[in-house]
């Protein structure tokens, strides 16, 4: 009731906690529990961690504040929010908003395929648990049919949550699933350190060897930071538009970034030691040429092989591990679908139900096209969206915030949840920082 009265008929997150869980839910995803640990593992461990932390602090956090603030100011979908920040730049806002919407839908179309594999592995571990190991071969064997079926199931789950709306769908599911994710992760971390070999992985993860530091590593760390905080695809502008006006945006953004980075860190704390525990059990983790096996081999072959060596307990650990991944993926995929859905309901004036069916349907078709032309399209779509599009859109957003949007309007917007902001260190640094340092840093890294 309170939230309804606060802003005419537009929906809102019902509490700050709910918002943090939803935004952290979007941020924490396969990028954290899979992308980060495997990138760290193949890029020298501790050095990657170190550069990544710098990237989050120097680039991603200020950007997150920018995206949330535009959204809350605009009180609308991404296209319209960009327009309110730059009333004269109508065409630009439309192109940027639609660009973000297309990129995020493409991300969802490959994300749901990977999430489908995770569901397959989860079902496989669960069947093992009840002694039906021989029934589950199909679930974990790469094949067009399996990829299609599992992807569609995951998409239907995502669509179901988004259909229920912001507070009753996204917020409710995120506040249930995220704490569960933290608990499961905690248990898994403790367990892995009881195993032989784990300390070798811990050493690789925490003791830096700066000979690994290369320009490519810095670019990867930047891309990883953008992807992980769901930046450059209008997700955070959209979520920001559902944020209550009395919320302190810099503080909330810091908490979201902290949770996201914390989960990535802990995921590394599980996966790197787990790799070496696997090695200790005789599972191959390095190829013959001495490089680490690629990331899907690690997640879908090495870790399950490790779980197998743990006997009865292994099936439980495996099921928990994959369940974790599915939860992380779902709270991210719902945020992706919400971007086009919010545009469609507000711009085309269609119901949420219809928008979800329509857009979910289109994403399923795109996803099916990737599945059926896997070798040709999968890597291409991943690269096109995460390596190029996300940083470019993020750069354009910083340019709007830094150069075009009236600074007094930004201040007034931020002040609503942070009345003393003008005197804060944050306000002394951030506006100029977003204006000058962020774009330069991004261009530098990008053209490196
Ligand atoms: N941040 C999510 C992850 O780390 C992925 C994501 C990207 C979510 C873009 C929304 C938008 O997995």
Least Cα distance to 232 among 53, 90, 88, 400 occurs for 400
Give, in order, the Cα–Cα distances in Å from 370 to each of 235, 374, 384: 23, 5, 13
Centroid of ligand 1 to alpha carbon of 179 (angstroms): 18
Q: Are 136 and 123 in contact (CB under 8 A)?
A: yes
Q: What is the pLDDT of residues 138-171, one digit of tens each?
A: 888 888 999 999 999 999 999 999 999 998 889 9
Q: Tell me the per-residue pLDDT of 412-442, one tens digit each, with 9 for 90 and over.
A: 999 999 999 999 999 999 999 999 999 998 8
Q: Would you state the pLDDT for residue 9? A: 65
Ligand 1 atom with least separation from CA of 329? 12
What would the pLDDT profile of 246-257 be if each residue is shown by its tens digit?
999 999 999 999
| C-alpha of residue 221 to centroid of ligand 1, in Å | 15
* pLDDT band per the 50, 70, 90 thresholds, residue 229: very high
Average pLDDT over residues 118-146: 84
**pTM of this structure:** 0.92
Confidence of residue 298 (pLDDT cuts 50, 70, 90): confident
Return mean pLDDT, the chain. 90
Mutational test site, ligand 1, from 28, 31, 326, max ligand atoms within 8 Å of CB: 31
- Selection from 276, 383, 371 nearest residue 268 by Cα: 276
Dig out the tokens for 308 from the structure: 């197998």
pLDDT at site 3: 40
How sure is the predictor about 1, in pLDDT bands with cuts at 50, 70 and 90?
Answer: very low
Question: Residue 143 C-alpha to ligand 1 middle, in angstroms?
Answer: 25
**Class in CATH terms, 16-447:** mainly alpha
- In this prediction, residue 5 carries a pLDDT of 37
Token digits for 358?
């329509």
Give the separation between CA 49 and CA 209, rounded to whole angstroms.
11
- The CB density around residue 216, as the number of other CB atoms within 10 Å, is 10
What residues flank ligand 1, with Cβ below 6 Å?
Answer: 26-27, 29-32, 104, 107, 227-228, 230, 233, 235, 332, 335-336
Checking if the pLDDT of 302 tops 90, the result is: no
Asked whether the predicted pLDDT for residue 2 surpasses 70, the reply is: no
Residue 320: pLDDT band (50, 70, 90) is confident
Distance between CA atoms of residues 189 and 91, nearest Å? 49
Angle between helices 78-85 and 312-347 (to 10 degrees): 60
> What is the rounded (10 degree) CA torsion for 412, 417, 423, 428?
-70
As a whole number, mean pLDDT of residues 99-126 equals 95
CA pair distance 191, 144, nearest whole angstrom: 35
Sign of CA dihedral 204, 206, 211, 212: positive
Contact indicator for 78, 345 with CB cutoff of 8 Å: no
Of residues 380, 25, 64, 58, the one with CA closest to residue 170: 25
| pLDDT value, residue 447 | 79
- Ligand 1 mutation pick, 227, 228, 240, 334, max ligand atoms within 8 A of CB: 227
Q: How far is the CA of 305 from the centre of ligand 1 (A)?
A: 28
pLDDT of residue 135: 66
Going by alpha carbons, the residue nearest to atom 11 of ligand 1 is: 230
Burial code (b: 16+ CB inside 10 Å, e: under 16) for 144-165 equals: eebbbbbbbebbebbbebbbbb
Give the tokens for residue 119.
Answer: 């569901």
- How large is the average pLDDT for residues 306-317? 80
Q: What average pLDDT does range 321-336 have in this prediction? A: 92
Is 79:94 a contact under the CB 8 Å cutoff?
yes
Torsion of CA 254, 255, 256, 258, to 10 degrees: 80
> What is the per-residue DSSP string for 360-405?
HHHHHHHHHHHHHTHHHHHHHHHIIIIIIIHHHHHHHHHHIIIIIS
- Give Cβ neighbours of residue 412 (< 8 Å, ≥ 6 apart): none
Question: Does residue 296 surpass a pLDDT of 80?
Answer: no
Pocket test for ligand 1, best of 22, 24, 177, 228 (most atoms within 8 A of CB): 228
Which ligand 1 atom sits closest to the C-alpha of 29?
12
Name the nearest CA neighbour of 237 among 17, 39, 77, 411.
Answer: 77
344-to-66, 94, 103, 429 alpha-carbon distances in Å: 23, 13, 15, 37
Which pLDDT band holds residue 313 (cuts at 50, 70, 90)?
confident
Query: Is there a contact between 59 and 228 (Cβ–Cβ < 8 Å)?
Result: no
- The CA 24 to ligand 1 mean position distance, Å, reads 10
Percent of the chain with pLDDT over 70: 97
Q: Residue 234 C-alpha to ligand 1 middle, in angstroms?
A: 11
Burial string for 100-126 (b: 16+ CB within 10 Å, else e) reads: bbebbbbbbbbbbbbbbbbbbbbbbbb
The count of other CB atoms within 10 Å of the CB of residue 47 is: 20
CA of 335, closest atom in ligand 1: 10
Task: Decide if pLDDT at 281 tops 70.
Answer: yes
Least trusted range by pLDDT, from 5-9, 25-29, 123-127, 211-215: 5-9
Confidence of residue 4 (pLDDT cuts 50, 70, 90): very low
CA distance 79 to 97: 4
**pLDDT computed for residue 371 by the predictor:** 97
Instruction: Give the mutation target among 22, 27, 268 for probing the ligand 1 site: most ligand atoms within 8 A of CB.
Output: 27
Distance from the CA of 389 to the center of ligand 1, in angstroms? 14
């Amino acid at each position: 009731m309170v939230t309804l009265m606060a802003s005419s008929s537009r929906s809102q997150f019902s509490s700050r906690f709910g918002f943090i869980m939803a935004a952290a839910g979007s941020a924490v995803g396969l990028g954290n529990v899979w992308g980060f640990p495997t990138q760290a593992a193949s890029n020298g461990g501790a050095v990657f961690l170190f550069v990544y932390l710098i990237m989050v602090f120097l680039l991603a956090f200020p950007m997150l504040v920018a995206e949330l603030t535009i959204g809350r100011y605009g009180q609308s979908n991404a296209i319209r929010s960009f327009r309110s920040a730059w009333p004269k730049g109508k065409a630009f806002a439309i192109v940027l908003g639609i660009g973000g919407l297309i990129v995020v839908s493409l991300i969802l179309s490959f994300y749901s395929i990977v999430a489908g594999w995770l569901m397959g592995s989860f079902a496989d571990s669960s069947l093992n648990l009840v002694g039906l190991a021989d029934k589950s071969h199909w679930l974990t064997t790469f094949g067009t049919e399996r990829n299609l079926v599992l992807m569609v199931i995951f998409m239907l789950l995502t669509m179901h949550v988004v259909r229920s709306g912001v507070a009753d769908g996204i917020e409710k599911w995120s506040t249930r699933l995220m704490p569960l994710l933290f608990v499961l992760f905690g248990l898994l971390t403790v367990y892995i350190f009881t195993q032989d070999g784990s300390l070798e992985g811990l050493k690789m993860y925490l003791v830096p060897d700066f000979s690994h530091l290369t320009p490519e590593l810095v670019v990867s760390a930047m891309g990883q930071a953008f992807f992980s905080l769901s930046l450059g695809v209008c997700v955070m502008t959209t979520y920001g538009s559902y944020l209550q006006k009395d919320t302190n945006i810099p503080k909330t953004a810091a908490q979201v970034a902290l949770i996201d980075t914390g989960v990535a860190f802990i995921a590394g704390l599980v996966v790197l030691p787990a790799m070496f525990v696997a090695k200790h059990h005789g599972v191959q983790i390095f190829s013959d040429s001495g490089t680490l096996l690629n990331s899907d081999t690690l997640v879908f072959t090495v870790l399950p092989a490790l779980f197998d060596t743990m006997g009865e307990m292994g099936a439980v650990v495996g099921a928990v591990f994959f369940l974790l991944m599915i939860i992380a993926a779902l709270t991210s995929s719902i945020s992706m679908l919400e971007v086009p859905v919010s545009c469609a309901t507000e711009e085309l004036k269609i119901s949420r139900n219809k928008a979800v069916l329509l857009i979910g349907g289109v994403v399923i078709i795109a996803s099916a096209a990737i599945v059926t032309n896997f070798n040709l399209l999968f890597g291409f779509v991943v690269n096109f969206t995460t390596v190029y599009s996300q940083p470019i859109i993020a750069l354009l957003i910083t340019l709007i915030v830094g150069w075009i949007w009236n600074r007094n309007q930004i201040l007034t917007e931020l002040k609503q949840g942070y009345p003393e902001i003008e005197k804060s260190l944050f306000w002394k640094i951030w506006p100029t920082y977003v204006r000058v340092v962020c774009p330069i840093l991004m261009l530098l890294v990008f053209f490196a």
